[in-house]
């Protein structure tokens, strides 16, 4: 991960757009990264759909999910998901919360996702389930209160991902690129598992295979290859984030789009 | 909703195209909005596929679904759906009739759609079914006669949506943006419910959750975020509606397309 | 249908591309139309994928499927499908043979497609099955010999479509636009039927409904609307057929593409 | 296949991109071709996602999968798949290893893919399964060691394809174009087989039909038609490989993309 704040913010905007373009995020979902020099803070966009996020949208938060500078914009209602996980897990450097179509059927059916192919091992063994209703009764299912975020973080434990009943999933990583790859591979895994079940059986990897295959996505050949590929696909769709400040780029972009 | 008629007509054209681009409408289906200053009238396009609708296509109708000004164009055969619902439900400000691929399997199998994730709660509890054959025997299934529209409106009752056997669905809203979000979320819900059923079970939200989560799509952060996102996706596909009068824009557009 | 040969050829090229863009045809499949002034001839492209067909590719055939002018290009191996149907059915003005992903599962499972929604009624009641193996034993499944084409035409009988086991489908129409609409609606119908079956049941329309709804796709509002919509979608993808002669347009097109 | 090395390398880059654009390859998977004048060597890209491969990325390998010239770039970890198959099968001129979404459910469920439509016969009769765990116990499932590649080649035997449990598939061909067609048709076949099974049954072709239909994809009308079609689809997406050397084209391409 870049140690320079500006570069990391640019990478975070790009990560948001890649995850959106690859079908993990849609109008909803959010990705954060821990501050590169202050582990007591994290970086997260203002409330905006991930495909549109620009570096200028990124705000700094304390681990209590309070914005460091008073914002003039809407914030994500569910930012405690990020703060509570950074508090509970010092090894976690990046967090993604999403409602990907590939995982939703599992979150609704209450059926576990298990690694069924080598890249799927990036999610580790079976992800745990968290049902907000168990502890908090009737809610609108958004994770908004600190105690809700803390409960979710407890259920995540030392896992790489947690499924949230009738809501979505939250995935963590030791870095932004690892998080992006893990989130994408876990969605592919869920899709393949679902279709294999329709054929009769979805046998998971042997536990030893899961351990060994779990680090494939950290191999230099793989990180280089996937990031280049996902970036090119995003660029080909015309959706690369601008590098300039919010206001200018917003104006610039509008023009470019209109001109097409 | 805009109180200015011109702005509302522009928003209606945009709503048609967003719903088409997001897979709710296709060659068929239509969206209307109640007149902003005369509750005894509604606005609906001439007969045209929603992705192509321009402000100049929008016509004014009485609640008997008669055009206010004698038209020189084809009208939708099924416009009584809109008029009859506006007559029966003074709270309804916008109506969408569609045959979305996500809901069709339920309309054919006669299996109810129930809210299975937080955004799906936008449709409220289980939508009722209406089978045109029950009351009218063999027809071509189009809702064309006033008595057919009235029967459908009765079955809709105080619900947010009604499923029409072997035909499609009709969704209502307190405003255009609410209607758009509800229609899209209901289709996602149907898709997830279908896939969760394939995994073994599609447990609906608890009734209290449905009530609380049902208003998420009216949260300012959500309305702002989704409308910006769906508009950007439409714009990126090159299909934003022109703002000028029908004839001029039609000509202008043709040229722009040919130039690509 | 245009009575002018040049206009009809242009419409046939457009029909090929629309059916390809809407997912009925792919690298394979072909569409023909009966000659507007000589019922003993039909028009069909040289061997080429439908998305690429230009007016200059269209050749004239006798009903024995012999080219009227000696060709310097490859011909479709399966053109007897067209000739034999035009011989057997004087009411048929257009024929489409395809392997659409939506119908293939039914052709393989041997499960009939039945009209399950109002637009699906365009295909009429249940389409018959034809298994080339029954009469001809082991073949490569291509319909190449006159006797194979005649056998297929016999099985089609007075129906609007015939399913070919482990191969595809052949659809007929009283005109090109009717054929295009029928082919597209039949694929949507197959898709919805399959998904409704996954939900538990795919109840067909009542026979009286099928008869009444079967003519919706011939309603002026519907023909105008669908043709405009499918053409716009094709145009937006940059794949409209050129109007000039083969050689010139082929050169012109290459340049335009390279310039993008 | 071109006998000229430069032309063959250009065709190999194109084959990579076609297979990616048609959904056989994604961030992963690779395609190789035997050297046109030295059967003891083969050509394969450096480690890169197939959609991005340019002629300048192609390297030459001995059949021990050692690069002929010391490379300054990352190599595919699994290149022994190619070398070991070229050693074992002198008739094989091209090899594709992939994790296509269409075959993954079969690789996970352990359910055989069988030819269910005429073009599916390009894969021959039922493809054998190879489970790396049987012989090598817990691994990360990548085929990296020569003995792993040799074991895979033994299981492939004289077949056209081999399925790899919880990993993917490897397909071989007598030429690049045959390999591309076979890989694409086998994926379509798997997709149709899966959906036919959902309808109740996926009856395979009669063995005699498989033999006769297996050569359709080598018919001149078919080779010409499919290669033109897949190339045009790739070109329309803006992803044709450049013909110039790596460095120059990489620079040129970046500019072109940015300009869009």
B166: nearest CB among C116, C221, C226: C116
Q: What percent of chain A clears pLDDT 70, i.e. is strictly above it? A: 93
Query: Residue D244 has what pLDDT?
Result: 56
Nearest CA in chain A to B228: A49
Nearest to B176 by CA among B10, B58, B6: B10
Nearest CA in chain A to B193: A105
What confidence tier does D75 reach under pLDDT thresholds 50, 70, 90?
Answer: very high
Average pLDDT, integer, range D227-250: 79
Q: Which two tokens stand for residue A200?
A: 């009769």
Those of residues 57-96 in D touching chain A at CB distance below 8 A are: 74-77
Nearest CA in chain D to A230: D27
A229: nearest CB among D27, D111, D198: D27
Contacts of A220 in chain D (CB under 8 A): 74
CA distance B228 to B205: 28
D99: contact with A, CB 8 A cutoff? yes
Lowest mean pLDDT among B242-246, C63-67, C195-199, C201-205: B242-246
Contacts of A195 in chain B (CB under 8 A): none
A212: nearest CB among D139, D168, D239: D139
pLDDT of C226 over the 90 cut: yes
Give the number of A-B residue pairs with CB atoms closer than 8 Å. 115
CA distance D166 to D65: 24
Digit-coded pLDDT (tens) for D17-54: 999 999 999 999 999 999 999 999 999 999 999 999 99
Task: Flag if C138 and D232 touch (Cβ within 8 Å).
Answer: no
pLDDT of B123 over the 80 cut: yes
DSSP string covering chain A, please?
A: --SSHHHHHHHHHHHHHHHHHTTS-SSS-EEEEE-SS-TTEEEEE-S--GGG--GGGEEEEETTS-BSS--SS---TTTHHHHHHHHH-TT--EEEEE--TTTHHHHHHTPPP---SGGGGGG-S---EE-HHHHH-S--S---SHHHHHHHHHHHTT-SEEEETTTEEEEEESSHHHHHHHHHHHHHHHHHHHHHHHHT--PPPPHHHHHHHTTGGGSHHHHHHHHHHHHHHHHHTT-PPPSS-HHHHHHHHHHHHHH-
Query: Residue A226 has what pLDDT?
Result: 97
Contacts of B137 in chain C (CB under 8 A): 208
CA distance B155 to B152: 5
pLDDT of A38 over the 90 cut: yes
pLDDT of D248 over the 50 cut: no
Average pLDDT, integer, range C14-20: 98
**Phi/psi of residue D12, nearest 5 degrees:** -70, -40
Task: Flag if A49 and B228 touch (Cβ within 8 Å).
Answer: yes
Task: Flag if D107 and A118 touch (Cβ within 8 Å).
Answer: no
Residue carrying the six token digits 């929604």:
C117
Neighbour order of strands in the sheet with A58-62:
A58-62, A41-45, A30-34, A94-98, A168-173, A161-164, A129-130
pLDDT of C256 over the 60 cut: no
Task: Flag if C108 and D116 touch (Cβ within 8 Å).
Answer: yes
What confidence tier does A244 reach under pLDDT thresholds 50, 70, 90?
Answer: low
Out of C78, C148, C178, C191, which one is annotated catalytic?
C78
Nearest to B75 by CA among B52, B46, B48: B46
CA distance D213 to D119: 7
Q: Which two tokens stand for residue B115?
A: 């809210």
pLDDT of A257 over the 50 cut: no
Dihedral sign, Cα of residue D24, residue D27, residue D30, residue D31: positive
pLDDT of A246 over the 70 cut: no
DSSP run (H or E) holding D13: helix D5-21
A210: contact with D, CB 8 A cutoff? no
Q: How far is B224 from chain A (nearest CA, A)?
A: 8
Catalytic residue numbers of B, as ranges: 78
Local structure of residue C118 (DSSP, 8 states): G
Query: Residue A217 has what pLDDT?
Result: 84
Digit-coded pLDDT (tens) for C32-82: 999 999 999 999 999 999 999 999 999 999 999 999 999 999 999 999 999
Query: Residue D3 has what pLDDT?
Result: 86
What confidence tier does C220 reach under pLDDT thresholds 50, 70, 90?
Answer: confident
Average pLDDT, integer, range D226-232: 97
Query: Residue A259 has what pLDDT?
Result: 33
pLDDT of A55 over the 60 cut: yes
Query: Residue B244 has what pLDDT?
Result: 56
pLDDT of D221 over the 90 cut: no
The DSSP bridge pattern shows strands C30-34 and C58-62 to be unpaired
Q: How far is B251 from chain A (nearest CA, A)?
A: 17
Query: CB burial class (10 A; 0-12, 13-18, 19+) of residue D228?
Result: middle
The answer to whether the beta carbons of residues A28 and B223 sit under 8 Å apart is no
CA distance B124 to B220: 19
The answer to whether the beta carbons of residues A231 and A18 sit under 8 Å apart is yes
Q: Give the 3-state secondary structure of residue C53.
A: coil
Q: Is B197 left (phi over 0), alpha (psi -120 to 50) or beta?
A: alpha
CA distance D43 to D218: 23
C215: contact with D, CB 8 A cutoff? no
Nearest to A257 by CA among B240, D49, C255: B240
C232: nearest CB among B52, B101, B198: B52
Contacts of A121 in chain D (CB under 8 A): 140
pLDDT of A255 over the 90 cut: no
A138: nearest CB among B202, B206, B221: B206
Work out the angle at residue C74's Cα, subtended by the Cα atoms of residues C256 and C177, and round it to the nearest 5 degrees.
65
pLDDT of D125 over the 70 cut: yes
Digit-coded pLDDT (tens) for B104-120: 999 999 999 999 999 99
Contacts of A110 in chain B (CB under 8 A): 201, 203
B117: nearest CB among A75, A133, A166: A166
What confidence tier does C244 reach under pLDDT thresholds 50, 70, 90?
Answer: low
Digit-coded pLDDT (tens) for B160-199: 999 999 999 999 999 999 999 999 999 999 999 999 999 9
pLDDT of D201 over the 70 cut: yes
Dihedral sign, Cα of residue C93, residue C98, residue C101, residue C104: positive
Contacts of A196 in chain D (CB under 8 A): 104-106, 108-109
Nearest CA in chain B to A131: B205
Nearest to B241 by CA among B68, B50, B113, B36: B50
Query: CB burial class (10 A; 0-12, 13-18, 19+) of residue B95?
Result: buried
Digit-coded pLDDT (tens) for B53-73: 999 999 999 999 999 999 999
The DSSP bridge pattern shows strands B30-34 and B129-130 to be unpaired
Query: Residue D254 has what pLDDT?
Result: 35
C236: contact with D, CB 8 A cutoff? no
CA distance B236 to B232: 6
B199: contact with A, CB 8 A cutoff? yes
Residue carrying the six token digits 């200059």:
C56
Task: Flag if B108 and C203 touch (Cβ within 8 Å).
Answer: yes
Task: Flag if D101 and A205 touch (Cβ within 8 Å).
Answer: no
pLDDT of A160 over the 70 cut: yes
CA distance C175 to D162: 47
Contacts of D256 in chain A (CB under 8 A): none
Contacts of B86 (CB under 8 A, 6+ apart): B34, B39, B42, B63, B92, B95
Which chains have at least 3 CB atom pairs separated by less than 8 Å from chain B?
Answer: A, C
Torsion of CA A118, A120, A124, A127, to 10 degrees: -150
A203: contact with D, CB 8 A cutoff? yes
Task: Flag if B118 and A76 touch (Cβ within 8 Å).
Answer: no
Contacts of D213 in chain C (CB under 8 A): 139-142
CA distance A5 to A68: 15
Query: Residue A241 has what pLDDT?
Result: 94
**Residues listed for chain B:** 260
A139: contact with B, CB 8 A cutoff? yes
Average pLDDT, integer, range D237-251: 65
Average pLDDT, integer, range D140-149: 98
Side-chain-facing half-sphere of C109: CA atoms under 13 Å: 20
Average pLDDT, integer, range C109-133: 97
Integer CA distances (angstroms), B51 to B57, C24, C216, in order? 12, 21, 21
What's the per-residue H, E or C state across chain B? CCCCHHHHHHHHHHHHHHHHHCCCCCCCCEEEEECCCCCCEEEEECCCCHHHCCHHHEEEEECCCCECCCCCCCCCCCCHHHHHHHHHCCCCCEEEEECCCCCHHHHHHCCCCCCCCHHHHHHCCCCCEECHHHHHCCCCCCCCCHHHHHHHHHHHCCCCEEEECCCEEEEEECCHHHHHHHHHHHHHHHHHHHHHHHHCCCCCCCHHHHHHHCCHHHCHHHHHHHHHHHHHHHHHCCCCCCCCCHHHHHHHHHHHHHHC
Nearest to D68 by CA among D5, D153, D143: D5
Contacts of C141 in chain D (CB under 8 A): 117-118, 205, 209, 212-213
C230: contact with B, CB 8 A cutoff? yes
CA distance A102 to B251: 42
CA distance D201 to A119: 31
Contacts of C76 in chain D (CB under 8 A): 221
C239: contact with B, CB 8 A cutoff? no
Dihedral sign, Cα of residue C59, residue C64, residue C70, residue C74: positive
C141: contact with B, CB 8 A cutoff? no
A107: contact with B, CB 8 A cutoff? yes
């Amino acid at each position: 991960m870049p140690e320079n704040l500006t570069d990391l913010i640019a990478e975070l905007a790009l990560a948001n757009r890649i995850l959106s373009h690859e079908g993990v995020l849609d109008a909803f979902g959010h990705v954060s990264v821990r501050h590169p020099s202050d582990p007591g803070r994290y970086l997260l966009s203002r409330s905006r759909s991930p495909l549109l996020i620009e570096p200028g949208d990124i705000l700094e938060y304390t681990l209590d999910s309070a914005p460091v500078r008073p914002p003039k914009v809407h914030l994500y209602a569910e930012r405690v998901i990020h703060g509570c996980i950074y508090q509970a897990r010092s090894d976690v450097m990046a967090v993604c919360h999403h409602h990907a179509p590939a995982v939703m059927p599992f979150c609704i059916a209450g059926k576990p996702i298990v690694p069924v192919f080598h890249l799927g091992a990036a999610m580790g063994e079976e992800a745990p389930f968290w049902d907000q209703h168990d502890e908090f009764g009737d809610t609108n299912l958004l994770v908004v209160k600190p105690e809700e975020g803390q409960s979710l973080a407890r259920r995540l434990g030392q896992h790489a991902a947690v499924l949230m009943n009738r809501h979505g999933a939250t995935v963590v990583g030791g870095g932004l690129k690892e998080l992006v790859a893990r989130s994408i591979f876990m969605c592919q895994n869920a899709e393949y598992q679902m279709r294999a079940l329709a054929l009769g059986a979805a046998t998971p990897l042997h536990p030893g295979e899961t351990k060994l295959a779990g680090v494939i996505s950290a191999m230099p050949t793989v990180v280089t290859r996937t990031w280049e590929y996902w970036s090119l696909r995003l660029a080909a769709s015309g959706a690369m984030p601008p590098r300039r400040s919010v206001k200018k780029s917003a104006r610039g972009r509008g023009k470019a789009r209109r001109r097409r």
